[in-house]
Amino acid sequence: MNFPAGETFAAIDLGSNSFHMVVAKFEDERIRIIDRIKDMVRIASGLDADNNLDEAAMERAIQCLQRFGQRIKEIPGANVKAVGTNTLRQARNSNDFIRRAREALGHNIDIISGQEEARLVFLGVTQAFYNDTETRLVIDIGGGSTELIIGRGFEPRATESLYMGCVNVSRRFFPDGVINDRRMRDAALFARMELETIEARYRRIGWDTVLGSSGTIRSICEVAVAQGWSEAGINRTAVEVLRKQLSAAGHCEKLLLEGLSERRKPVFAGGLAILIAIIEALELEYIQISAGALREGLIHELVGRRQDKDIRKATVADVATRYGVDRKQADKVAKTAEEFYTQVKSQWRFDRADGDTLLWSAQLHEIGLAIAHAQYHRHGAYLLSSSDLPGFSRQEQFNLSMLVRAHRRKFPILEFSQVAPEDREKTLRLAILLRLSCVMNRSRSYTMPPEIKVTADTNSLSLTFTGTWLDDHPLTRADLQTEAEYLEAVNFQLTFN
């Protein structure tokens, strides 16, 4: 798909320590960053003992997002991508926060998995340092998690997201700001324990170069260069000297290091302890610094989707292959669903993303058969909700699993209540189209169903068949009658003639 030169895109990263936004233009077949905004919101510090975000942290975040929203209010929603990471993955009240945050920003906000975060970090770093001959190890130490990725070109080979970041490690080991040798050792040992399950595998895979991204690693590099301990990047000696400097200072507020900002001081020791552990575990000597990170990965993902280079298509195809889906049957259901969607999309205000979701649910609706035929719609929903699906946010993945769950038998009213309120009506309507597409292809014959005229209203759908086709297919008529009875449970009327 071609789109106008000069079109503007925006990516927002709601990190555990900082919120970042980048604005870019697509010109001359390349992406040019035109604006960067960063605010050290530190929402991870607002998590209480029950993993609920407190009001103060949410208010800081909302105020930041209002400023971001003002900057991008003229950018179309399809060109904006905002994602939440580790802290919002953990927060029990994240749905409440997301509703408020969406209103402040003026755009949707998705929560992504740790694996998806790692993939996007690698994409962002690779775009800045592309090389298809070297294998890279990418390290991203965030506020609430640390991502380590090995890959070549644009393809990650190993991705891990570990629950340790500069904010949560600092809160745990340096809660009062006091820094000493014992606390630094304990923090680094904790990080080594987190790394223990991956270090042997990562060493076995190997890499040619090491790249670091994110604020923590850049801050350490800036301090090392400013002090003359390194000419560029981060070397092992500089990290050891810096560790001694922190212990000698005794408190985060007494850190008088050129290159270290005041706002970074409270979480600097935790970030350094994590980097020390990574260097020891993976026996690193030197780390280059990348300008690219998660938000740059998001920008490239957005542009790719507009150019029909959507990784989610490949993900759906991979999942279908993995679970042995009957492709001919899936394609027939998908074609029927597409025909229904085309006829009702205006009335039901569907957009392109809704059409993609319907198509993917049709292609995957039978994956549960890989486990058992009985209740296979439930098995399929479980597989989709529990798997790592590159390119999908948590909300997208959940909604996709709900369509598969709802594609047959009684409508799952209780499960559907878990769909976000703003997505519920649209997801319900997509589920109805998928159900009808499955009904029309239930015979699994080699011929496609006849042309069907579909007329939609707010809570009703009417199917009109040509000629005597429906009278000649009494089983289909009976299936449609059963389906009409099922849909009454969600106050929806299905008629056919």
Tell me the CATH number of domain 7-112, given options 3.30.420.40, 3.40.50.2000, 3.40.630.20, 3.40.720.10: 3.30.420.40
Compute φ and ψ for 11, nearest 5 degrees: -130, 135
Q: What CATH superfamily classification does 310-445 receive?
A: Hypothetical protein af1432 (1.10.3210.10)
Sheet with 460-465: list strands edge to edge: 452-457, 460-465, 493-496
pLDDT at 446 (0 to 100): 79
Residue for token pair 């014992």: 182
The two three-digit tokens of residue 45, written as one number: 């510090």
- The string of pLDDT tens digits covering residues 38-71 is 999 989 989 998 999 999 999 999 999 999 999 9
- The string of pLDDT tens digits covering residues 278-313 is 999 999 999 999 988 999 999 999 998 888 889 999
Q: How far apart are CA 328 and CA 126, in angstroms?
A: 37
Residue 53 has, within 13 A of its CA and on its CB side, a CA count of 28
pLDDT at 307 (0 to 100): 83
Tell me the pLDDT of the chain averaged across its residues: 94
Q: Return the C-alpha torsion angle 260, 263, 266, 270, nearest 10.
A: -60
Architecture category of domain 130-289 in CATH: 2-Layer Sandwich (3.30)
Sign for the pseudo-dihedral over CA of 93, 97, 98, 100: positive
Q: In the chain, where does the domain assigned CATH 1.10.3210.10 lie?
A: 310-445
Q: 40: exposed, middle or buried (C-beta count within 10 Å: 0-12, 13-18, 19+)? A: middle
In this structure, are residues 295 and 9 in contact, taking their beta carbons and an 8 Å threshold?
no
Residue type, 309: K
Q: How far apart are CA 262 and CA 296, in angstroms?
A: 26
pLDDT at 2 (0 to 100): 53
Q: In the chain, where does the domain assigned CATH 3.30.420.40 lie?
A: 7-112
Q: In the chain, where does the domain assigned CATH 3.30.420.150 lie?
A: 130-289
Q: State how beta strands 80-84 and 7-14 pair.
A: parallel
* C-alpha closest to that of 162 among 104, 219, 86, 251: 86
Residue-wise DSSP of 91-130: -TTHHHHHHHHHHHHTS--EE--HHHHHHHHHHHHHHHS-
* Three-state secondary structure readout of 244-262: HHHHHHCEHHHCCCCCCCC
Q: How many CB atoms lie within 10 A of CB 258?
A: 10
pLDDT at 1 (0 to 100): 46
* Residues of the chain with confidence (pLDDT) below 50: 1
- The string of pLDDT tens digits covering residues 126-182 is 887 777 889 999 999 999 999 999 999 989 999 999 999 999 999 999 999 999 999
